Structure 1
Amino acid sequence: MGKILVTGATGNVGRHVVSQLADAGLEVRALVRDPGRARLPVEMVPGDLNAAETLEPALEDVESVFLLWPGFTADGAGEVVATIAKHARRVVYLSANVPELAEAPTTHYHEIEQMIRHSGLGWTFLRPGGFAANTLGWAGQIRQGVVRWPYGQASRSLIHEKDIAAVAVHVLTSAGHNGATYVLTGPEQLTQAEQVRVIGEAVGREVRWDDQPPDEARDQLMAAWGDPTFVENALRTWEGFVTSPEQVTDTVRRLLGRPALTLHQWARDHAADFS
């Protein structure tokens, strides 16, 4: 098996992809902005997806790429995909399972998927739903005992980042996944208010949910994210999950031969982050 390049190697998913590939004894290279600061147990090469010309050295002798695109737009992605296609044979792209992909295919996830489809690369798309790790955004409020956020009854099937990484590693290291799109979720639906309760139980703290008016949340999210389209999409998605909960898939079980990890497990793994 040829060398595997992992982008986003220091992030929530990427660091697990790196460690799981390394544990399996495979030849893996990590693309990082600053090798001097990154602490990874593999070969590291400096590079930045926002500067496609920096990818050439990182792609030397690489057969497969795990691609995680930074940012909220596809600006510059075409050049990156073309550069990857000059060197590698296949790419596993961490996309997203968002309603827009089916209803109004205009998200940057869809744009990058289309670029990859037309690149000549062999490809597999991973479309996770809600990340359990996104609840880390509530950490400060959870420490105070009250989470004030919109749409407490929005129900999601959050997935552990270890499961996303495990599926990525499985796809990167086994045959039969070319041209496949995998929707990945956790094993259960929980409302946002229930998610807070589960995290509180894991850290030994009673946490109350306080439903925030959407208009107030919009101003808060704009200050934090700065992208009005992304904010509106997020609010619309959460509102939709109140009446149409995020579906549960069995993809993790089918591919890995075990159930997906629960939010209870994720919360125990991250208890220190909420302490």
Structure 2
Amino acid sequence: MILVTGATGNVGRHVVGELLGSDVRIRALSRDPASARLPADVEVAPTDEMPLDGVTSLFLNPAVFWHGLGDVLDRAKSAGVRRVVMLSSSAALDTDPSNQIAAHHLGVEHAIEDSGLEWTFVRPGEFSSNARAWAEAIRAGEPVRGPFPAARTTPIHERDIAAVAARALTADDLVGARPVLTGPEVLTHPEMVRIIGEAVRRPARFEEITPEEARKEMLAQPYMRDGLVDTLLRLRARAVDAPVEVSPEVERITGRPPRTFAEWAADHADDFR
């Protein structure tokens, strides 16, 4: 059996979908199992209970464990779990000690390595789904506001992340690997906003604001805090001039090219209408 944490999230739901085509039983964790809306043949359990009986492989989303893993790995070993596939981040490559995103993901990675379990750390860059934060503005016909419009990124479709994770859960060739995943193209946020506008057949535009304005707006969001906001702004500033590479790993692992941002925008166009 494979246990999927964060099974109703952007990536976890697609991990479940990828696994449905394989000959494995699936247990999906959700904070609210009654509203999970997962296929009938998927066992759904509460996140806070995290039943591990019969589980051999675990898809671990560290966002579910932002305040620490606790005894999860010890419980997993005792229950007979062999493998952990972690949704990490390409931020783990950053050597800047002030990068809170890197520190969090590296801390979880190191704990898994030290546990003695088999592991794979899937390290995607910016999720295409982050663009959903722009939905309210685009639906209202207002500009998407942000700093550093020249900053470049390689947005990746959550379905491509899930496909790699599912392969790592069901095959042995990625054990001990840390694949860095990107989409197939380098884009700026203004270009991404334009592509969303094309998908919904209504013009969408980007408006530059200062980092100070952006910081104030970001801190007004309930899930943000000072250190994380400062990290995100530093990363955006660095992305203006830093070299940006497209990774071949999605195609190497799955056998097909990663989906473009235009494909993601078409898949999610209703979010912006």
Flag whether TM exceeds 0.5 (same fold).
yes
- Aligned partner of 2:251 in structure 1 is 253
Q: CA deviation at 1:72?
A: 8.2
Q: CA deviation at 1:245?
A: 4.6
Q: Does 1:265 align with 2:270?
A: no
- Aligned partner of 1:213 in structure 2 is 210
Match of 1:249, as an amino acid? Answer: S
- Aligned partner of 1:234 in structure 2 is 232
CA distance in 1 between counterparts of 2:213 and 2:28 reads: 40
Contact 2:6 2:64 in 1 (8 A): no
Structure 2, gaps ≥5 residues long: none
Among 59, 79, 86, the residue aligned to 1:66: 59
My pick for the range that moved more, 228-237 or 202-211, is: 202-211
Match of 2:161, as an amino acid? Answer: I
Report the aligned-residue RMSD: 1.6
My pick for the range that moved more, 76-85 or 256-265, is: 76-85
- Aligned partner of 1:43 in structure 2 is 43
Structure 1, gaps ≥5 residues long: 49-53
- Aligned partner of 2:10 in structure 1 is 12
Among 97, 104, 107, the residue aligned to 1:108: 104
Q: Does 1:96 align with 2:89?
A: yes
Q: CA deviation at 1:171?
A: 1.1
Q: CA deviation at 1:24?
A: 2.8
Match of 1:85, as an amino acid? Answer: K
Q: CA deviation at 1:103?
A: 3.7
- 1:168-183 matches, within 5 Å, as 168-183=165-180
Contact 1:4 1:62 in 2 (8 A): yes
Among 68, 77, 88, the residue aligned to 2:69: 77
Residue 238 and residue 5 in structure 1: after superposition, are their counterparts in 2 closer, same or farther (change >3 A)?
same
Residue 232 and residue 72 in structure 1: after superposition, are their counterparts in 2 closer, same or farther (change >3 A)?
farther
Q: CA deviation at 1:101?
A: 3.9
Q: CA deviation at 1:82?
A: 2.2
Render the CA deviation track for 1:143-163: whole Å, top value 9, x for unaligned.
Answer: 214111111111100000000
Aligned residue-pair number: 265
Contact 1:72 1:108 in 2 (8 A): no
Q: CA deviation at 1:70?
A: 2.2
Structure 2 length-normalised TM: 0.92
Render the CA deviation track for 1:237-270: whole Å, top value 9, x for unaligned.
Answer: 0111111154210100100111000000000000
Match of 2:10, as an amino acid? Answer: N
- Aligned partner of 2:154 in structure 1 is 157
- Aligned partner of 1:86 in structure 2 is 78
CA distance in 2 between counterparts of 1:99 and 1:34 reads: 30
CA distance in 2 between counterparts of 1:94 and 1:228 reads: 24
Residue 121 and residue 170 in structure 1: after superposition, are their counterparts in 2 closer, same or farther (change >3 A)?
same
Give the share of equivalent positions with the same residue, in percent: 46
- Aligned partner of 1:185 in structure 2 is 182
My pick for the range that moved more, 181-190 or 134-143, is: 134-143
Contact 1:126 1:181 in 2 (8 A): yes
SS of the aligned residue for 1:273 comes to helix
SS of the aligned residue for 2:27 comes to strand
Structure 1 length-normalised TM: 0.92
Q: Does 1:123 align with 2:119?
A: yes
Residue 71 and residue 44 in structure 1: after superposition, are their counterparts in 2 closer, same or farther (change >3 A)?
closer
CA distance in 1 between counterparts of 2:188 and 2:117 reads: 39
Q: CA deviation at 1:18?
A: 0.7
- Aligned partner of 1:29 in structure 2 is 27
